Amino acid sequence: MKRIGLIVLTIISLVGGVKAQDGNNTSYFLSNLPQQYRLNPAYQPEYNVFIGLPGLSGIFVNYLNSSFTVEDLLYKRADSVYMDIDKFYKSLHKRNYILFNNENSILSVGVKARSWYGTLDITQKNDFLFRYNKDLFTFLKYGNTTHPDMDFGKLGVNVNSYLEIALGLSRQVNQKLTVGARVKFLAGVANVHTTDSELDIETKADGTMKLHSRQNIRITAPVNIRNEQTGLPFEPNQPIDWDDFDLNTDDLKVADFLNTRNPGFAIELGGEYQLNDKVKLFASLTDLGFIHWGNKDFTYNFYQDADFLWEGADISHSINKNNENHISIDSAFQKIADDLKDNFRLKNKGETYTTLLSPKLYLGATYELNKMFHVGGLFRASVINSMFIPSLTASMNARFLRNVSASVSYSMTRGSYVNVGAGITAKLGPFQLYAASDNLLAANYTNIQSANARFGINLLFGHKDRQKRKRIVELPNEVSVTPITVKKNTVQPETFSEPEPQPAGMEEKVIDTESNTLQAYYVIVGSFKSKQRAINLRNRLVSMNFKDSTILQNENGMFRVSIAAFATYADCWKEVYRIREKYPRYADVWGLTVK
């Protein structure tokens, strides 16, 4: 355990790092997927209640490599596998990175209340990122003969694990605009974070090399790092002998892995805007927050700032064993190792620290081709320290039935430009199954640079359309409605003739109206026992430019919301047909004749 820990800590001490990002762009526009609220807090699921099954409601994995593939690194000849150093080296960019993300949903719940939608989410998240320069492999491949000066700086490893509890609330402000926000309370579990990474080699004219390293290694994890000689933590700002490091987990308890002494906070914001009947705009900002790693029992902050002149190993006294100054070759190289350890010793700052989450910005839009299909475009950007990672996604989305939807997408991101994705949701009874990926080509794992997938199971109850129909049909004083099928373009304004009496219409006495004059026929889009609900609908209609919208009250106390009024029966039903065809959300509109 000690040997492995020393190797890991030694590697980390030579690099500095950043944090990783997540992303599943296909899910952003996948119809009827409740988990969209994690990408845009303004999203309101179609069902009044959803429950994400514990441990099954959301599992997400993401991998991205900015440079090489398996085929660049390995090749097969006969029955053996070989490493292709030249091809691997050529595939590298000047700066490269490898990242991995994982999310495991513990519980998710959502409830709708009128124009509001509230969510509760508990998720465990893990991030890993390694960033490196090509010069590191240039030195290993060619040495310092062809490249006398090399910069290995800005390399890094970052590991992050934390628990997230999120409360979300969204509101439909009017028929066009919906806004939302989520607040997150975070509990850090483990973190390895390196900063101030400087590592370079300068070759002198006499063949010697000057090594310079400045690192800051910050670790919070359920592991004891102690002075092996004393069994106590290292003294602040004192050089640490590498042989004194003792890493163990023998005395740890379960509570040490579930500590809550690393608190954090984050906020997410989002909005959706229906620009017109066809175009909808989206914007969201997620993971804007931090974690303070303040558990002093398991927080370590090591730093290093040193130079070393590499003069090589002196083996002139290793040839003649009879020489009184004889030294073995192993001892000569061991002296170099000892000199390196002495010069590149760490010091302990003994300080707690804070790390930022990786914020992500989403900007998107959809265009409705027809009732079944719409297309979407999404731009996502994340800035991680000095590294900017953008992506662009185009998608085609289909809603075949209420219970079945699908999406296909094409994405480009930094270092990975050919990503064909797909997603699907299917509801069987109350159970919804879903799966999505930004890169189906990952099935050919030997030639890919990115792969991700999101899948899970939800319980869904109370679709909003079903509740709307039930409310209208069961209202007292309504006549039974026989469904009327209106085919597109079958009724043209210029050829419209007065229709036969329709069973969907009704006649009643109006005792009160907001308008000054009472018309003979009204186009009704809603009926309520509550006057306030009628006022809310009337206001939404006015915001949609239906300026003649008004409220009527019948002799039984029902409040009818009218979208327009007419003097003739023919004009009234002409408008009914037009509203049903142009505004599917008001497909149950009907005509009222005033006594």
Confidence of residue 496 (pLDDT cuts 50, 70, 90): very low
The pLDDT, as a whole number, for residue 283 is 96
- Position with higher pLDDT, 544 vs 285: 285
Percent of the chain with pLDDT over 90: 23
Three-class SS state of 492: coil
The pLDDT, as a whole number, for residue 268 is 97
Least confident of 291-295, 339-343, 455-459, 575-579: 339-343
For residue 321, which phi and psi values (nearest 5 degrees)? -70, -20
Nearest Cα residue to 36 out of 382, 270, 266, 366: 270
The pLDDT, as a whole number, for residue 374 is 92
Q: What is the pLDDT of residues 367-415, one digit of tens each?
A: 999 888 999 999 999 876 566 778 899 999 998 877 899 999 998 876 5
Average pLDDT of the segment spanning 237-251: 66
Q: What is the pLDDT of residues 352-370, one digit of tens each?
A: 888 888 899 999 999 999 8
Q: How far apart are CA 248 and CA 2, in angstroms?
A: 7
Average pLDDT of the segment spanning 563-581: 88
* Secondary structure string (H, E, C) spanning 14-50: CCCCCCCCCCCHHHHHCCCCHHHHHCCCCCCCCEEEE
The pLDDT, as a whole number, for residue 53 is 81
CATH architecture observed for domain 475-594: 2-Layer Sandwich (3.30)
- Position with higher pLDDT, 482 vs 108: 108
pTM: predicted TM-score of the whole model, two decimal places: 0.65
Residue 107, pLDDT above cutoff 80: yes
Contact 281, 191 (CB under 8 A): no
How many other C-beta atoms can be found within 10 angstroms of the C-beta atom of residue 9?
Answer: 19
Q: How far apart are CA 110 and CA 52, in angstroms?
A: 9
- DSSP letters of 358-402? --EEEEEEEEESSSSEEEEEEEEEEEETTEEEEEEEEEEEEEEET
At 47, the amino acid letter reads Y
Nearest Cα residue to 70 out of 324, 449, 377: 449
The pLDDT, as a whole number, for residue 342 is 64
Average pLDDT of the segment spanning 152-169: 85
Q: What is the chain's mean pLDDT, rounded?
A: 77
The pLDDT, as a whole number, for residue 469 is 44
Burial 289-321 (b: 16+ CB within 10 A, else e): bebbbebeebbbbbbbebebebeebeeeebeee
Average pLDDT of the segment spanning 537-553: 86
Confidence of residue 503 (pLDDT cuts 50, 70, 90): very low
How many other C-beta atoms can be found within 10 angstroms of the C-beta atom of residue 112?
Answer: 20
Beta bridge partners of 593: 507, 521
Nearest Cα residue to 298 out of 367, 357, 340, 252: 252
Residue 118, pLDDT above cutoff 50: yes
Confidence of residue 338 (pLDDT cuts 50, 70, 90): low
- Position with higher pLDDT, 30 vs 348: 30
Question: Residue 123: which H helix or E strand, with range?
Answer: strand 116-133
The pLDDT, as a whole number, for residue 431 is 93
